[in-house]
Amino acid sequence: MVCTSTRALALLGTSLLIAAACGKEEVASASASATATESDSGAATDTTDAATTDGSESDSGVDAAPTWHQQIAPIVAESCSGCHRDSGIAPFSLTTYEESAPWALLLADSVERGAMPPFLATDTPECQPRHGWIDDLRLSDEQAGLLRAWADAGAPEGDPATAAPLPQPPQLDLVDPDIRLTIPTPVTVSGNGDKFLCFSIDPGLDADAWVDGLQISAGNPKIVHHVLVYVDEDAQSADLIGPDGSYPCFGGPGVGNASLIGAWAPGMPAFNTPPDTAFRIPAGARIIMNMHYHPTGAEEVDDSSAVELRYHPSIPANLALLALIGNAHNSGAGLLPGPGDSGSPQFKIPAGAVDHTESMSIRLDDIPDLRVWSAGTHLHYVGTDMVAGIRRAAPQPGEPESECFVHTPNWNFNWQRAYVYDAPLAEAPVVRAGDEIVMRCTYNNSMSNPYVVQALAEQGLGAPVDVYLGEETLDEMCLGIFGVAINLADLF
């Protein structure tokens, strides 16, 4: 059984929260959960007045100004319209010239600010991951320049008769799901207190299943703050549920033997494992949907949050796991000395601190070889930047001694996702026993951080407070979330 053999993973040391297939760890803190705001949504109201001219740019000398049908529509179709379309997750549609032209200046601006398209992983001087990312939404400098030139020229339409062909936007939805598990009872929230609850759902498996793709959807995005999906190995959650199918829980699954297989926060597309690699759901296991609702003040209902799963047709070569590594709270757990520590290292972000850092180095012992196929960062509202990588104890030939996995230098709580390497598993970075995962998180705990201002306001506070490691609105984290694959042969 996979279960016993992955025990090694559950022994990875106290600071390491790892969602091993049979781990006993409470993945609780992984999930985090600042309350605070749904912030940016609907931001498209105060916008620009980019004139919707009709392609009459020729007499100004800037006769090379890009036009919608020739240069701009293909960019927008590929990088924006996947979300900015009717019934997409974005607040306004960008599928036609008429829809897009009025926003031209705002579009160029959002791209230059790095706000859109939402994709936080960035190559930086200190972090150049060895592979690019699947579904990388980012625009090239040239494409961003074309958007700017188009906006500055007054958003000319160009000639529809000679329109450039439109590329398909990346597929953000799960292809060929096998089963959809929906919350069994509607949830109503109102007022301003956050609501956490877990639904326990029976996927009806009488044999082990393997999952190679999943997609979580928020039934009512106005109030669903985030969703975590766990496999409850021994169906313990069945004993906890009330008549509505739910039980109270906070950041974690509320049962011992559960492993995280997916998470949703705004912007999260479907999650696919690499070929021949899958999460395991044992026969009889239940699926837990940990729901975090953040009310808007008005009464709102969620009656359709769901997770869709795609089953792998056979036993794969590799077991997929989500490894949650970080959140070291003291030096024994891997926290390194940092600014403001008095005596031994302490995870504390003093009120008012700008550019405060907490760094960790977490050594993994007693593990099988892990291939890292995806990497994500997780902070709350005070966080501004996180970088994660590895320092190898005994690099193999051709393998770097240290290597960066992912850097999100413009952290935004509202846009979290797992970044998946665009490379075969055999070329993914390997973590072996004795290696250290190194992480550095940066925080701005001052009123110059708009998210801090918002979070304080929600708590009725007028000035920053000292922030510690934890799960509440004004607590922080420094957590790496890594999709790893373990060759099943290595587990026996």
| Interface with ligand HEC (CB under 6 A) | 40-41, 43-44, 79-80, 82-84, 89-91, 106-107, 110-111, 115-118, 137, 139, 267, 414
Task: Specify the amino acid at residue 381.
Answer: Y
Our CB check for ligand HEC shows the closer of 80 and 372 to be: 80
Rounded distance, CA 75 to CA 91, Å? 19
The candidate with the shortest Cα–Cα distance to 249, out of 321, 312, 200, is 200
Q: How far is the CB of 139 from ligand HEC (least distance, A)?
A: 6
Our CB check for ligand HEC shows the closer of 331 and 414 to be: 414
Rounded distance, CA 138 to CA 148, Å? 15
The candidate with the shortest Cα–Cα distance to 99, out of 68, 143, 144, is 68
Q: Six-digit token pair at 127?
A: 């972090």
Q: How far is the CB of 435 from ligand HEC (least distance, A)?
A: 33
Our CB check for ligand HEC shows the closer of 13 and 266 to be: 266
Q: How far is the CB of 270 from ligand HEC (least distance, A)?
A: 12
Q: How far is the CB of 473 from ligand HEC (least distance, A)?
A: 19
CA angle 122, 127, 128 (to 5 degrees): 80
Q: How far is the CB of 372 from ligand HEC (least distance, A)?
A: 24
Q: How far is the CB of 452 from ligand HEC (least distance, A)?
A: 18
Residue pair 2/243 in contact (Cβ under 8 Å)? The answer is no
How many CB atoms are located within 10 Å of the residue 462 CB? 9
Q: Six-digit token pair at 298?
A: 């008005």
Task: Give residue for tokens 């995005």.
Answer: 221
Q: How far is the CB of 286 from ligand HEC (least distance, A)?
A: 30
Residue pair 150/170 in contact (Cβ under 8 Å)? The answer is no
Our CB check for ligand HEC shows the closer of 325 and 418 to be: 418
Our CB check for ligand HEC shows the closer of 111 and 428 to be: 111
The candidate with the shortest Cα–Cα distance to 410, out of 385, 442, 381, 393, is 385
Rounded distance, CA 37 to CA 451, Å? 8
First to last CA, the chain: 9
Residue pair 482/464 in contact (Cβ under 8 Å)? The answer is no
Our CB check for ligand HEC shows the closer of 147 and 278 to be: 147
Q: Six-digit token pair at 394?
A: 């005994």
Residue pair 37/455 in contact (Cβ under 8 Å)? The answer is yes
Q: How far is the CB of 459 from ligand HEC (least distance, A)?
A: 22
Q: How far is the CB of 249 from ligand HEC (least distance, A)?
A: 27
Our CB check for ligand HEC shows the closer of 118 and 326 to be: 118
Rounded distance, CA 317 to CA 314, Å? 9
Residue pair 57/66 in contact (Cβ under 8 Å)? The answer is no
Our CB check for ligand HEC shows the closer of 144 and 179 to be: 144
Our CB check for ligand HEC shows the closer of 17 and 265 to be: 265
